[in-house]
Structure 1
Amino acid sequence: MRYTVDKAVFNINPNLKIGILIGRDIENSETTAADESRLRFAEQRMRESLQADLVRALPNVALYRDFMTNAGINPNKYLPSVEAMFKRILKGGALPVINALVDLCNAVSIEQMISLGAHDLKDIHKDLEVRFSNGEDIFLPFGATEYENVDAGELVFTSGNIVQTRKWIWRQSELGKTTVDSKDVFFQLVGFDNTEATLANAMEAIEGLIVDRFNGTCAKYIVHQNSSSAIEF
């Protein structure tokens, strides 16, 4: 299978860096007390160090919003998913416990303040691509049973013509959601040259989870303007 980023995407911001991890033979489980403790600790640290009205000024969030604006997406209407998550936490809300992999990925996202998506490969049957939609793409919203059409020109993450994430990093599909039975998982993290440390730290943390917590194997890649825009896995 291939993962490709359209060169036009890097024209929006040449400093874009995308971290990819492929976790294989993962042994996911229900969330343990230790897993939840890490998530709650990350939430509490964020509440102690940040105010809700300052979320948009966080380096990665500010760059996500600028990127979306330049891609023709209104980030006030379609908040980057991490911005929405951070605001929920800072308003006193606790994230729901889902399963160990989802909850620990959320913890890493909070710790590094970075966008991090996980997609179960059992639902993905065609090559993956970050590109602008072509008018033939469709999307299955989370929790839905009927597909919706995606207008041409929208920045999406897609498998063939089945969109995995709409409006770049706004909303993931029902297809590919990570469950307790997930074994092979594709992780996509979004950073930039000037937030490179958070990307590296988050990738190292996810690799550690795949290998040490979930007894799987891991392959890692970085895709950027000057690298090959495609990886094989």
Structure 2
Amino acid sequence: MYFQHAEDVWSEYPELVAAAITTSGITPTADVDARVAQFVGAAKARLADGTESDLPEIKAWRQTFTKMGLKPTQYRCASEALLRRLRKEGDLPRIHPLIDLCNAVSVAYAIPVGVFDLDEVAGFLEVRHAAGDEDYLTFAGTSENPEPRELIFADAEGRAHARRWTNRQSGRSAVRESTSRVLIVSEAMHASAAEDVASLMKTLADAVAEAWQVNTDSTILTSVERRFTISA
């Protein structure tokens, strides 16, 4: 099993910096409250003098969504949606300890973080342009097909595990109580993305290892070394 971005994605978005983390042994009982509070507090400090749209990380993703032909105020990257909710509601929802931790790190860095249950992924996971016939399962349990050329996370059976790149994940591979093996992906486009994504990766990998007492494997992906082999 592996994760990668297709070659033409790197060609079209050379500013992309991505990280991947994998581990097994995840349970729904870990205590991450202190770490979540720490990261959410950091995000609130960044929002104290403005809104999420002022942050360079979010500006870069808005430009990327515009390049994809999407209206960035209609389709937001995951970190912008979380930051917007945090600014309006004062906190983030609690879903599962791993999701709560990843969401908190995402708002602290203003960088999208996606988490996939590897037992629901067939063969591999690749960010690529859609043909338009892939099956996307919503959280409501209904099926959709992405638009042709839409950027999706696709597996070997032609199932879309996320639509519009960092906009919306599928319910099929969402983390649930039975989840044990996961792939965590973070992607950024802004000027200091190389340093920030590397910092996010280490911070999150260390927090996961501490909370669940597990080993993690992680890497930074590039256009040259774009495949991450998943051994978990």
Using the size of structure 1 for normalisation, the TM-score is: 0.89
1:55–1:87 contact (8 Å) kept in structure 2: yes
Partner of 2:73: 76
How big is each residue's C-alpha offset from its partner over 1:4-37, in whole Å with a ceiling of 9 and x where there is no partner? 21122123321211101111233x23363xx224
**Is the alpha carbon distance of 1:46 and 1:111 closer, same or farther for their aligned partners in structure 2, counting shifts above 3 Å?**
closer
Query: Is 1:98 aligned to 2:95, yes or no?
Result: yes
Task: Tell whether 2:171 aligns with 1:166.
Answer: no
Answer whether contact 1:52 1:91 (CA < 8 A) is retained: no
Structure 2 unmatched ranges of 5 or more: none
1:68-147 matched pairs, under 5 angstroms: 68-142=65-139, 144-147=140-143
Count matched residues.
228
Between 1:133-142 and 1:53-62, the stretch displaced more is: 53-62
What letter matches 1:30 in structure 2? Answer: T
- Give the equivalent residue in structure 1 for 2:175: 178
2:144 maps to which of 148, 152, 155: 148
- Give the CA RMSD over aligned residues: 1.9
| Aligned counterparts of 1:128 and 1:68: Cα–Cα separation in 2 | 21
Q: 1:76 to 1:2 in 2, by over 3 A?
A: same
Give the equivalent residue in structure 2 for 1:58: 55
The corresponding residue for 1:210 is 208
Corresponding residue of 1:196 = 194
Distance of 1:60 and 1:147 partners within structure 2: 31
Percent same amino acid at aligned positions?
25
Q: Return the TM-score normalized by structure 2.
A: 0.90
Contiguous gaps of at least 5 residues in structure 1: none
Structure 2: distance between partners of 1:181 and 1:214: 15
Asked if residue 7 in structure 1 is aligned to residue 4 in structure 2, the reply is no
CA distance in 2 between counterparts of 1:44 and 1:215 reads 24
Distance 1:87 1:213 in 2: 27
Question: Structure 2 vs 1, CA of residues 5 and 177 (structure 1 numbering), >3 Å: closer, same or farther?
Answer: same
CA shift in 2, pair 1:22/1:52, >3 Å? same
1:49 to 24, 40, 46: 46
Three-state SS of the structure 1 residue aligned to 2:35 is: helix
Checking the alignment, whether the CA contact within 8 Å between 2:209 and 2:215 is kept in structure 1 is yes
Per the alignment, residue 25 of structure 2 pairs with: 25
Offset of residue 51 of structure 1: 4.9
CA deviations 1:48-70 (Å, max 9, x no partner) are 43258531221211111111211
**What secondary structure does 1:130 align onto?**
strand
Q: Deviations over 1:181-204 (max 9, x none)?
A: 321100100024622222111111
**Aligned mates of 1:52, 1:180 — CA distance in 2:** 38
How far 1:179 sits from its partner (Å)? 2.0
Distance, in Å, in 1 between the alignment partners of 2:207 and 2:51 is: 30
Q: Decide whether the 8 Å contact of 1:165 with 1:171 is kept in 2.
A: yes
**In structure 2, distance between residues paired with 1:60 and 1:42:** 16
Contact kept, 8 Å, 1:19 with 1:191, in 2: the verdict is no
Larger deviation: 184-193 or 42-51?
A: 42-51
**Cα 1:231–1:37 shift into 2, 3 Å:** closer
Indicate how the Cα distance of structure 1 residues 224 and 102 shifts in structure 2: closer, same or farther if over 3 A, else same. same
